[in-house]
Amino acid sequence: MPKLPQLSLYLHIPWCVKKCPYCDFNAHALKIELPHKEYVAHLLADLDHDIPLTHNRTINTLFIGGGTPSLLSSSAMQLLLDGVRQRLPIASDAEITIEANPGTAEINRFLAYREAGINRMSIGVQSFEPEQLSRLCRTHSAKEASHAARLAALLSIPSVNLDLMYGLPNQSVKSALNDLTKAIALAPQHISWYQLTIEPHTLFGSHPPPLPDDDTLCDIYERGEILLNAAGYCQYEISSYARARFQCRHNLNYWRFGDYLGIGCGAHGKLTRPDGTVVRTLKTRHPRGYMQSNYLAKHYLITPSELPFEYFMNRFRLLEAAPRVEFTILTGLSESTIRPALDQALAAGYISESDSHWQVTDKGKRFLNSLLELFI
């Protein structure tokens, strides 16, 4: 039996106060009181159904995302994490992350989350400019964003990430770098800094706002990298920067083509079977159907022809070198099956190759979609 990949657990809380116009995640504006404990009961029942897919592996990272997971009451969060621990072995040093909206930053809630076992918090700031926050329909202020970051540090949350976007409507280079400077000044251990993209099934997709041109975006990115590097943040993924030893282990497992259970409304899972085949799961998207105990929407095998793209779509987001032997270990495919695509990537200057590794180049990082298209 092949060695199975590391296993993570993702839990999805689908509600938010207001859906942002750029968001294509499975998020639903809350119109009634959040059914805290009832939804937790369904999450745990969903988990019970998927436990056989784990093959007795230990959970190394756990991520609670949304929506706005920090809308969940502290008692419901304790109930959820206790329920997970009763069902699955959790590593003693497991990274346990929750996404938080600055508008829900309350000292008692954050303290209760920490006591429940949360040791990493990802705070959705997006911008510190009031005008941009209004355009993005964010429900928090710049002051609340700073307060949330300081509160997490005050409560000794071991690792704090700030989510920040650039390339916002009509954004100048100065404005984008000002946002980044303010985030750095809060001294989080991790900064996710990514470009706003217009997704088709969103409000911005239907009514696109005026965005910066390519030259402005390039200038923002290049000068932002200098700021982050000077402040001690090392880029390890296309949009992720961390101080030493504070990379997001959960996301690293995704990008290294590890396995993960996806529990909750619309959650995706990826599991490797003992025979080496890879299964994907998709849960029912809408809370109404999900909370009628209709958890599984789709369950299917990734075909051998799809595996190369699935693997490199994740692996080439990382700046670290990818061991060549890993491709065969995790996909069961010979390197010869992807040799033509690799040769094209090398000729285009998207990657470099040694006897043991592949490495994305600066050009490959800038033209990642073009690189990945070679493996479709």
Q: What is the mean pLDDT of residues 239-245?
A: 97
Q: Which residues of 171-190 are buried (b: 16+ CB within 10 A; e: fewer)?
A: bebebbbebbebbbebebbb
Cα gap 97→120, rounded to integer Å? 4
**Over 60: is that where the pLDDT of 1 sits?**
no
The pLDDT confidence band at residue 342, using thresholds 50, 70 and 90, is very high
Instruction: Please give the model's pTM, rounded to 2 decimal places.
Output: 0.95
Q: pLDDT at residue 282 above 90?
A: yes
Please tell me the distance from the alpha carbon of residue 180 to that of residue 194, in angstroms, as a whole number.
Answer: 11
Mean of the per-residue pLDDT values for the chain? 95
In the predicted structure, residue 105 carries a pLDDT above the cut 80: no
Structure tokens at 194: 């990514």
pLDDT value, residue 109: 86
Mean pLDDT on 159-164: 97
Question: Does residue 30 register a pLDDT over 90?
Answer: no
State the sign of the Cα–Cα–Cα–Cα dihedral 139, 142, 146, 151: negative
Q: How far apart are CA 79 and CA 357, in angstroms?
A: 44
pLDDT category at 2 given cuts 50, 70, 90 is low
Most confident of 58-67, 109-118, 139-148, 196-205: 58-67
The residue among 94, 7, 75, 4 whose CA lies nearest residue 47 is: 7
Give residue 264's pLDDT.
98
- The per-residue pLDDT for range 285-321, each reduced to its tens digit, is 999 999 999 999 999 999 999 999 999 999 999 999 9
Task: Please give the domain boundaries of the chain with CATH numbers for all domains.
Answer: 7-253 (3.20.20.70), 304-376 (1.10.10.10)
Task: Give residues with Cβ within 8 angstroms of 42, minimum separation 6.
Answer: 290, 291, 293, 295
* Confidence grade of residue 106 (pLDDT, cut at 50, 70, 90): confident
Is the pLDDT at 242 greater than 70, yes or no?
Answer: yes
Residue 108: pLDDT above 90?
A: no
Segment holding 180, helix H or strand E: helix 173-185
Give the three-state DSSP class for 26: coil
Residues 119-128 pLDDT 10s: 999 999 999 9
According to DSSP, the residues that pair with 270 across neighbouring strands are 260, 280
Residue 229: band (very low, low, confident or very high) from pLDDT cuts 50, 70, 90:
very high
Q: Give the mean pLDDT of 324-328.
A: 96
pLDDT of 3 reads 82
Distance CA 82, CA 40 (A): 11
Q: State what percent of residues in the chain have pLDDT above 90.
A: 87
244: Cα within 13 Å, side-chain hemisphere: 1
Please enumerate in sequence order all residues whose Cβ is within 8 A of that of 246, keeping only pairs 6 or more positions apart, or say none.
Answer: 159, 189, 190
Are the C-beta atoms of 150 and 186 separated by less than 8 Å? yes
| Structure confidence at residue 300 (pLDDT) | 96
Q: Is the dihedral of CA 194, 199, 201, 206 positive or negative?
A: positive
Q: How far is CA 275 from the centre of its chain?
A: 28
pLDDT in tens, 137-150: 898 999 999 999 99
